[in-house]
Structure 1
Amino acid sequence: MNRLKWLIVIALFQFSTAAAMAEPVATDIVVRAKARDAKFIGSSIGGALVRIRDADSGALLAEGLTEGSTGNTDKIMRQPHSRYGSIAEGAAAFKATLEIDEPVFLTVEVVAPAIKRQARVLSQTQTWLVPGKPIDGDGLIVEVPGMVVDLLSPQTHQAVPAADSPFEIKANVVMMCGCALTPDGLWDGSKMEVAAIVRKDGELYKTVPLKIQDTSTFSAPLEAKSPGVYQLLVYAYDPRTGNTGVDQTSFIVQ
């Protein structure tokens, strides 16, 4: 009986020693950011910032931008998707190689579009990564909701003479991947709700619907003959998906 106990102790010691001496294994993980109802977020709009953390400690294990194209429009937007079928086909991605000697539970954060601060959205998910078992191919696809709205006119803190009223509200609206809105196009701007909520001296003044005039450009005239400080919030909303984007500014009517 004593001999059996010793054999068990020795086996446990050998097992724990082998585990302690396990060599880290280089294991790849590919992360892609996909705009809701659109394509992948890549170099053309500054990429998506990806942060990979140890979920338990919060330690940052890898960080970088997705790089590459928005992907194949037909595969992503027009063709039916099959199980295990790829839709990425070389689209923008961030690839990290982690040296791990045991399975690690990861939190993957995606901030996109990285260079458009007023439109940035944080999306995240979690996954296990096992040594020698890569997450590659299309990789881990994280969806990023929203739209990018850029107010073009009026300019921030612009002083507008009351005599010039009405003047133009103009905004540029694109999908989070930078894909353009066009009348009756794949991303049909005529079916998007775009409007300006106008406040004067802190009080609601009016809401002005904007119409698409050209590729990704929406505009409408604004009557503002009363002097004061005006705040302008332009939103874009797609009732079919719930996608929403906003930009804001202020201007002065003299």
Structure 2
Amino acid sequence: MAQIELRDVGLSYFTTKQETEALRDIRATIEQGEFISVVGPSGCGKSTLLSLVSGMQKPTKGKVLIDGAEVRGTSPKVGYMLQHDHLFEWRDVLSNLLVGAEIRRMDMKQAKRTALDLLERYGLGGFASHNPTQLSGGMRQRVALIRTLVTEPDIMLLDEPFSALDYQTRLTLADEIHRIIKDQGKTAVLVTHDISEAISMADRVMVMTKRPSTILSVHDIRFDEGEGLSPWQKREAGRYHAYFNTIWKELGGHVAPVG
């Protein structure tokens, strides 16, 4: 059974004068542990798709299911990582990591142990008492990811989490976040404007059309060099450019070629 399933999903926005159709007949299945990237023209509804999976929005047509149950609201099974880290500057790193656990009224002693373990495991063990202003942009995003992991979601939704970073930091952080998510065994859906980022991080790339948006194609990303490649290694792999050129042509130049 698929962990995430979208069955003929549609979404329209209504005003007193008109209906605007954003998404039309979206059909997709995502298996447990898969990493999916979503690309498409600006304004096509990529982030809206994440909102539907998270339960923050309801489709006007069709159904979204997680583990076979229809999504009817937000769920602790789903974690959301946004473009900006949204760390509270007046709280130290450890206190920031516990925000989600506080909101969900989790066992705070266990949440603190989990937070400290994750900090240590992913190279931030010495920064628990630091303030966010003392961290680099890449470190802040790693803290934001760990904050989401502390709440123990099964599914990670990533909405352009590298867009505010410089190019070199983006490349490094893509490798790190990909490794962390795979290490944790999470199912992940990444929205990005960057074709290179989409290909290098994903098991499959979903290409969306302009509005009213539907799924144009889905590409299985496989390399002759084998499984387990990092995003950086995938960019150097033999079939990378073929995937890139195919997706670029499908999108007609409406998204960023490199990130």
Fold conserved (TM > 0.5)? no
**Structure 1 or 2: more helix by fraction:** 2
Q: TM-score, normalised by structure 1?
A: 0.24
Q: TM-score, normalised by structure 2?
A: 0.24
